[in-house]
Chain A
Amino acid sequence: MSALEVAAEAATAPAPLSLAERALLQFEVEQFLYAEAALLDARRYRDWLALIAEDIHYWMPIRRTVTNSDIEREFTKVGDMAFFDDDRAMLEMRVKKLEAGSAWSEDPPSRSRHFVSNVRILDVAGDEITLEAAFHLYRTRLNTEVDSWIGRRTDVLRREGESFRIARRHLFLDQTLIRATNMSTLF
């Protein structure tokens, strides 16, 4: 960005939020994320889909164990291979599969708990809020299967009336080798 562009942007940028405004926004955002997590834990996938923006990019790149000298190659890039690289139509397909009555990997259904913490609002631009959070998805199924996925994610929430819709979710797992039979659940 040129100096001129920076100056132009500064001239039009809204005044920074006050502490009280930030606290309120933090509360709103966190309450939204908890409610969203509760929908997934309750297997209310259709209701969850209602929170997904039409233009969502739901993406989980592949992480690799690399040396420090090669650290820029730790994650695959957009367009290369990933575990998830979904648009809204793809997420609808995942939900449709879960509802099909023959999704054997989820019947008997998994029991999941979606934890979200360390929520930091990184940017507020117009009606879009960019945040970073730590997540922990705990899943157990049958009597012995236990999976645990921990990582960092960046979300973009778009304000819509009293609530938000999720316009981006980029998930950066801490695992490299996925220590699970599958990822038949939603993050």
Chain B
Amino acid sequence: MTLRCGGRMQMADGATGVEQGWDRASILALFDAEAGWLDRRVLSDQALYQLELERIFARGWNFMCHDSQIPNVGDYFINYIGEDQVICVRGEDGEVNVLLNTCRHRGNALCRAEQGAAKSFVCSYHGWNYALDGKLIGVPGQSSYFHGDLDRSQLGLVKAAQVDSYLGFWFATMAPDAPSLHDYLGDVGRTGIGMICSYGDVEVIDGIQKNVIDCNWKIAVDNLFDWYHVMYSHASAGSAGIFKPAEILHPNNQLVMLGEYGHAISGPGLPSERQTQIDLMSDEERIEASRSAPANSQRIRPRLGAELMGASGVRSMGHPNIFPNLWITLGGMQVCLRLPRGPSKTELWWFTIVPKDAPASYRKVAVWTAIHLFGPGGLLEQDDGENWSQSTRASVGFSSRQLGQTLKMGLGHDRVTVDEHGQRFIDTRINEHAQRWLYRSWTEWMAARDWAELRARHSPAPEGAV
């Protein structure tokens, strides 16, 4: 048996990451886009994981929270940029500040609750006090014990380099040179968030489900594009009657969109003839039809849907992912973060979302659907975790980690179409295009030492044959 070994090489002098042993060529070799072959060490290597914290999470735009979760000055929600805990807090000026949750004195966490409201953040260790914008406003013994030596202006809480929102969804990056959120999301990312908001302004329902799975975060991300597993992995949920595969799956009507920097949307798509019929309906008719079955993949979006998602994107009934780790699901009724906790551990955080003006009856159905399909107790979700943890585990052993994973479905059989507005999409059947795009983009992010290099060397959104 021939085992294929990716190269683990020493880096050139002066390059960052020498200590990690992964250079540009060896990282790019981890995924072979032409062959549809993924090196399993992507799911298990400790050095790659450390590099991900720097080159994926600190560099990218990470989802923080929704406007509705922190409506008032001082309201905060704790989230993560990779493994760095951050406080997302509504400042005195109404803007959202994203602050590293670590005291500049000895590193202690300022906030230990998951959410709440604060006037300022006081460290429980020695009482250093920080304003909602991170400014250090109080140090016990500053003039006596510290002899006035501290320059408080240099010791504020560290702020995310850029914080911005799109349609009420707040994101942050630690990279000052990252593109603007608008440019980062691009058409595909904005289409994804537009899916959530296509019935109007939304709010997050109280209660974020959180659980931890012994898997690599990327296999949880790539699974959201995978409509091939639904029939088999979720067969028992179908037998129990919680969902009807034939109503949601549409294996021969799949719509894929691949966006710059790794964003993608994959899953069922309405045939354009069906969309043409919908275009003739009034908004009232469309909203009424959608409210009776909020999770039905045949949701009929009002005109706002096409405004936010584009004329082709609005046909998507599938799953967007905002690179790296924000899944938009149930037609925009939930988002799920896949937060890394080491190469073989991932936390899943589920946010459930309804239009602000939704009637109580819709809200009830939305909550019922979210609880019973997804989250650790959900009938669909129950059967996913072990597939991911066992796949992750089989990336560790000496022999199995030298094998690849096979991602060949649909490779070379499809074409990207560009509509009259420039929106790119693939109309196809069940496929693995988005998974391949995810890993290809991931290698490019990992291989680039900074944003300048990533900007210059990343693949543009595909055109032509894929």
Contact = CB atoms under 8 A, between A and B. Distances in A.
Contacts of B206: 76-77, 80-81
What's the interface size class on B, roughly?
Answer: 35 or more
Interface in A87-139: 90, 93-94, 96-98, 100-105
Contacts of B115: 64, 66, 70, 73
B265 interface: no
Looking at A60, A104, A181, which has the most chain B CB atoms within 10 Å of its CB? Answer: A181
Contact of A64 (B114, B235, B372): B114
Interface in B372-391: 372, 375-377, 379, 381-383, 385-387, 389
B283 interface: no
Given A62-B208, A177-B212, A105 B386 contact: yes
Contacts of A61: 207
B209 A81 contact: yes
B209 A85 contact: no
Dominant secondary structure of chain B at its interface with chain A: mixed
Contacts of B367: 79-81, 85
Given A105-B382, A181-B385, A176 B114 contact: yes
Given A64-B115, A65-B112, A97-B379, A79 B237 contact: no
A98 B379 CA distance: 10
Contacts of B372: 86, 90
B240 interface: yes
A69 B211 CA distance: 25
Contacts of A178: 209-212, 376
Contacts of A66: 113-116
Contact of B376 (A80, A85, A104, A180): A180
A81 B207 contact: yes
B239 interface: yes
B213 A70 contact: no
Contact of B386 (A69, A76, A101, A181): A181
A91 B304 CA distance: 38
Given A66-B116, A67-B116, A102-B239, A83 B379 contact: no
A184 interface: yes
A22 interface: no
A181 B210 CA distance: 11
B378 to A, nearest CB: 8
Given A76-B206, A81-B370, A105-B382, A182 B377 contact: yes
Contacts of A84: 371, 377
Interface string B232-271: 1101110111100000000000000000000000000000
A120 B206 CA distance: 31
B316 interface: no
A35 interface: no
A97 B381 CA distance: 13
A85 B381 CA distance: 16
A102 B240 contact: no
18 contacts: A61-B207, A67-B112, A70-B115, A73-B115, A73-B116, A81-B207, A83-B377, A93-B242, A97-B240, A97-B242, A100-B236, A101-B236, A101-B239, A102-B232, A104-B233, A177-B212, A179-B212, A181-B389
Interface of A: 60-62, 64-67, 69-70, 73, 76-77, 79-86, 90, 93-94, 96-98, 100-105, 176-184
Interface of B: 112-117, 205-214, 232-233, 235-237, 239-242, 347, 350, 352, 364, 367-368, 370-372, 375-377, 379, 381-383, 385-387, 389
Given A83-B377, A181-B385, 12 more contacts: A66-B113, A67-B116, A79-B364, A81-B207, A81-B350, A82-B207, A103-B382, A104-B236, A178-B376, A181-B376, A181-B386, A182-B383
